[in-house]
């Protein structure tokens, strides 16, 4: 695995590979790697001859008071995991490499960045879009792979690619879960042992909501009952049941549904979602 810290060196190396006819698949990460990230790498390996992974904790997607300074750094373990997956290139840029002209962004996400997580983290998705756009300019991948756990992020990246007319094929992978159902997340490390035992109730409440909707419960009752259930253990930031294709309200013709939620639990913020099809629609 080749490691680059400088954008120029990476660009030269990738140009040579491209000239030889190789496609490039890119997996951006902030490190703290787990099986969820590795599933993205596996997908990238299927898609292209060359796989580039970046590790960069992007300051512009954290608001003041969030966990930027404490974000888990497991670099040595991450490197070994990526080597074990035969990743071709690891890009480890500094803040100056990514933002040589300062962190002011020239891309605004718009309305889709202000709902759900964006209502609680108003500057987050502009920061995500900014760094992903910058990585796309540097890596110029044919494919980029993102996790469906960050479902709103995935939709925002897809619209970025469309709005900027980029020829990058965005692929996604389903959320990877621990055996007890908890969605894998770097931030799970923040949970105390006792909270870690309770955290799977989050996903089981989403599963119950799905079953109840499929059995005929109205969407508004399912939302109300699930929020009540979750509130017994967690502080619910939001819980919505939406059209999975565009994160808008469900209509009678909507067949692909997402139950999407964020909770706070002992100082840790967790997000999760569940996508399913409604029959006979």
Q: Which residue has the tokens 């419960």?
A: 217
* CA–CA distances in Å: residue 196 to residues 39, 119, 186: 23, 26, 13
Does residue 58 bind ligand PAF (CB under 6 A)?
yes
Does residue 226 bind ligand PAF (CB under 6 A)?
no
Q: Where are the alpha helices (DSSP H) in 199-268?
A: 201-214, 219-231
Please count the residues of this chain forming the interface with ligand PAF, following the rule CB under 6 A: 10
Tokens of 37: 């990230």
Q: Select from 128, 160, 205, 222 the one that contacts ligand PAF (CB under 6 A).
A: 128
- Would you say 129 or 205 has its CB closer to ligand PAF? 129
Contact stretch for ligand PAF (CB under 6 A) within 28-36, 42-50, 159-167, 199-207: 28-36
Does residue 97 bind ligand PAF (CB under 6 A)?
no
Does residue 29 bind ligand PAF (CB under 6 A)?
yes
- Would you say 27 or 209 has its CB closer to ligand PAF? 27
Tell me how far, at minimum, the Cβ of 58 lies from ligand PAF, in Å: 4
- Would you say 116 or 131 has its CB closer to ligand PAF? 131
Residue 37 falls in the annotated catalytic set: yes
Give φ, ψ of 170 to 5 degrees. Answer: -90, 125
Bridge partners for 269 per DSSP = 264
Q: Rounded to the nearest 5 degrees, what angle is found at the Cα of 152, between the Cα atoms of 146 and 156?
A: 75
Q: Select from 25, 28, 38, 118 the one that contacts ligand PAF (CB under 6 A).
A: 28
How far, in Å, CA of 84 to CA of 179, rounded?
23
- Would you say 156 or 258 has its CB closer to ligand PAF? 156
Handedness of CA 31, 53, 156, 124 (dihedral sign): positive
Does residue 132 bind ligand PAF (CB under 6 A)?
yes
Give φ, ψ of 96 to 5 degrees. Answer: -70, -35
Give φ, ψ of 93 to 5 degrees. Answer: -75, 160
CA proximity to 259, closest of 233, 280, 241: 241
- Would you say 25 or 131 has its CB closer to ligand PAF? 131
Contact code string over 139-158 relative to ligand PAF, x by CB under 6 A: -----------x--x-----
* Catalytic residue annotation: 37
Binding footprint of ligand PAF on the chain (CB under 6 A): 28-30, 58, 61, 128, 131-132, 150, 153
């Amino acid at each position: 695995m080749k490691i680059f810290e400088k954008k120029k060196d990476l660009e030269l190396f990738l140009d040579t590979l491209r000239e030889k006819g190789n496609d490039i698949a890119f997996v951006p990460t902030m490190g703290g790697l787990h099986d969820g990230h590795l599933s993205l790498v596996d997908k990238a390996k299927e898609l292209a001859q060359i796989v580039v992974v970046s590790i960069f904790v992007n300051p512009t997607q954290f608001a003041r008071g969030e966990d930027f300074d404490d974000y888990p750094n497991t670099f040595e373990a991450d490197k070994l995991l990526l080597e074990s997956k035969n990743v071709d290139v690891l890009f480890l840029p500094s803040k100056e490499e990514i933002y040589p002209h300062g962190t002011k962004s020239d891309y605004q996400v718009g309305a889709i960045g202000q709902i759900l997580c964006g209502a609680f983290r108003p500057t987050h998705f502009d920061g995500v879009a900014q760094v992903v756009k910058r990585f796309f300019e540097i890596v110029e991948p044919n494919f980029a792979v993102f996790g469906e756990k960050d479902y709103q992020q995935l939709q925002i990246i897809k619209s970025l690619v469309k709005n900027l007319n980029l020829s990058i094929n965005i692929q996604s992978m389903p959320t990877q879960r621990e055996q007890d159902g908890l969605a894998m997340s770097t931030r799970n490390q923040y949970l105390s042992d006792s909270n870690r035992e309770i955290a799977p109730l989050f996903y089981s409440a989403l599963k119950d909501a799905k079953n109840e909707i499929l059995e005929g419960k109205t969407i508004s009752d399912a939302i109300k009952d699930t929020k009540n259930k979750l509130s017994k253990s967690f502080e619910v930031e939001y819980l919505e049941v939406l059209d999975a294709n565009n994160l808008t309200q469900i209509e009678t013709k909507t067949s692909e549904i997402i139950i999407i939620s964020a909770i706070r639990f002992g100082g840790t913020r967790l997000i999760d979602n569940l996508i399913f099809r409604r029959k006979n629609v």
